[in-house]
Structure formats: structure tokens, C-alpha cells
């Protein structure tokens, strides 16, 4: 389809999700990793994984990383390959890592970027006093988003098409970061987003215990609700053109309500108070 997207920008033919409040991927406990998996297009499949890692072995070694990787062959745009060398003379090779292409606002994301399906290291700081010899090594990379906010470019590899997207992040330290929002192309040949269609009514929004969905062709549609982590927490087939959903068991916060019929898919953000 030859699609593209601009960082920080989306329209009616893109899938957009805003983390409210912003999601902090914190520094983990020692020898534990923290993961956040993102469903970029709202289809219920996880597409990318952000990871924070901490390995601290007292005076011998320390490893701290923030990485992103595509799942199921999805890809991340990278800038260059960084090589880590030991303190020996001559230096000995330790490892290489892909560094991200860190974008500002309103930058074109398309096929002309450098793409990889390997792990991309957003930032890291690691040293080892004994590897590969007693001279050890110390390598690090500080993200330009340590204090600023920016965008990571991603693309989804589907069976018949390729879609582009962005993830907005900030405060990328050596083992923690903040995720704000993201957007991705949708297949405009098969999905019609009717955000301004007055025929479909989803109310009240914000909602408390009940929310109502009304549409002339709602019967037999699949109505789903997802939490901010992309997990499906509700799914029901509408039995008529008017549907009442009980929200009394849901926590307060932001959710996505998705209506899927034979002809279109519509996704709306809802707030439960």
C-alpha cells in the first residue's frame, strides 16, 4: 500500500492510543526485567516490547539497559551499530548493539529509514571488571531523550502490507523510561473509522456503572473493551442495535471500546470514573 506517517501526527486512517497517565517503565529489581508490550493497531496482538534491565554484581559487573524490539518480525528504525571494546591493548571485541533513530516532531516515517527486526538499545551503561580479561570494559550510551521527549519509528510487517507508526517516549535513563502515546497506520481498504458518524452513539463518556452503544447495524457486531496495556477485558456479541455494558467491575481509568462489524471497525476511547 506504500503508507507512511509523520512522528507525533495521526489522522482518521491511523490507530492512536494515549497512555493516561503516562506509563513509567521503572528500573527493575536486581536480576529482574520490566516489560511493556504494545499493540500498535488495536487488533489484540502484541507488536513491540519495551524492556528495562538491571544486572548488578557488586564490584564485578553492572548492566543497565532500555531496549525495544519488534515481535513477530516487526521492525524498529535504527541509526547505526555501536561497538563495545575492552580496555585491553589492543582492545578486544565485546559486543555490538543497534542504536535507535531518535526523531523529533513531524518527521516522515517510511520505507527509506534503516529498519531492523533485532533488539534496539535506547540507552545502556555496563561494565565488567573481569571480561574478557582482568582489564575489563565499560561501555555506555545516553539517549538524547534523557531530558527531552521524542519518537521511535516502528513498522508492522503484515501478510499483505506494511504499516508505519511511532512511539512517543521521554526520560530515557539507563534502566527506565516513560511512554506517552503511539500511533500506527491502519489498512484503509478494509477499515472505515467512523469517529464523526452521528449514527453510532456511545454514551455517557465518561461513564460510571453503565455505558450504552447504539447503532443501526449493531446487531451481531463484536463489542470489545481493552485496557491501556492492550489486554481484552470484555467481549460480547450484540443481540440488537442497542447494547448496555455493565462497567461496575472495572477500575477507574482510560479504556478502548472497539466495535467490529462485517463492514467496518470503530474504536473509541472511553473513561470510567
pLDDT at 195: 44
Q: What is the pLDDT of residues 112-162, one digit of tens each?
A: 999 999 999 999 999 998 887 778 999 999 998 988 899 999 999 877 678
pLDDT at 162: 86
pLDDT at 267 over 90: no
Q: Which residues contact 272 (CB under 8 A, 6 or more apart)?
A: 206, 207, 208, 247, 250, 251, 252, 253, 255
Question: What's the rounded mean pLDDT across residues 43-61?
Answer: 88
Q: What is the pLDDT of residues 53-103, one digit of tens each?
A: 998 886 788 999 999 999 999 999 999 999 999 988 889 999 999 999 999
Model pTM above 0.85: no
pLDDT at 193: 40
Q: Which domains does the chain have, with CATH numbers?
A: 5-185 (no CATH), 201-272 (2.60.40.3080)
| Beta bridge mates, 237 | 222
Amino acid at each position: 500500500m506504500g503508507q507512511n506517517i509523520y512522528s507525533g501526527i495521526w489522522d482518521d486512517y491511523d490507530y492512536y492510543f494515549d497512555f493516561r497517565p503516562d506509563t513509567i517503565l521503572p528500573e527493575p529489581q536486581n536480576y529482574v526485567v520490566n516489560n511493556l508490550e504494545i499493540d500498535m493497531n488495536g487488533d489484540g496482538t502484541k507488536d513491540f516490547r519495551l524492556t528495562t534491565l538491571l544486572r548488578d554484581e557488586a564490584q564485578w559487573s553492572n548492566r543497565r539497559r532500555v531496549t525495544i524490539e519488534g515481535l513477530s518480525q516487526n521492525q524498529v528504525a535504527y541509526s547505526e551499530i555501536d561497538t563495545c571494546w575492552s580496555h585491553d591493548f589492543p582492545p578486544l571485541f565485546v559486543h555490538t548493539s543497534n542504536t535507535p533513530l531518535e526523531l523529533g516532531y513531524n518527521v516522515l516515517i517510511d520505507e527509506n529509514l534503516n529498519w531492523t527486526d533485532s533488539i534496539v538499545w535506547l540507552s545502556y551503561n555496563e561494565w565488567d571488571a573481569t571480561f574478557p580479561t582482568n582489564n575489563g570494559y565499560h561501555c555506555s550510551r545516553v539517549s538524547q531523550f534523557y531530558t527531552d521527549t521524542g519518537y521511535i519509528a516502528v513498522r508492522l510487517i503484515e501478510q499483505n502490507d506494511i504499516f508505519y507508526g511511532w512511539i512517543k517516549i521521554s526520560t530515557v535513563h539507563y534502566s527506565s523510561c516513560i511512554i506517552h502515546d503511539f500511533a500506527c497506520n491502519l489498512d484503509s481498504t478494509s477499515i472505515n473509522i467512523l469517529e464523526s458518524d452521528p449514527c453510532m452513539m456511545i454514551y455517557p463518556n465518561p461513564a460510571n456503572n453503565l455505558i450504552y452503544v447504539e447503532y443501526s447495524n449493531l446487531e451481531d457486531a463484536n463489542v470489545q473493551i481493552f485496557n491501556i496495556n492492550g489486554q481484552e477485558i470484555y467481549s460480547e456479541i450484540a443481540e440488537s442495535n442497542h447494547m448496555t455494558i455493565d462497567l461496575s467491575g472495572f477500575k477507574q481509568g482510560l479504556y478502548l471500546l472497539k466495535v467490529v462489524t462485517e463492514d467496518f471497525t470503530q474504536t473509541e476511547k472511553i473513561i470510567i470514573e
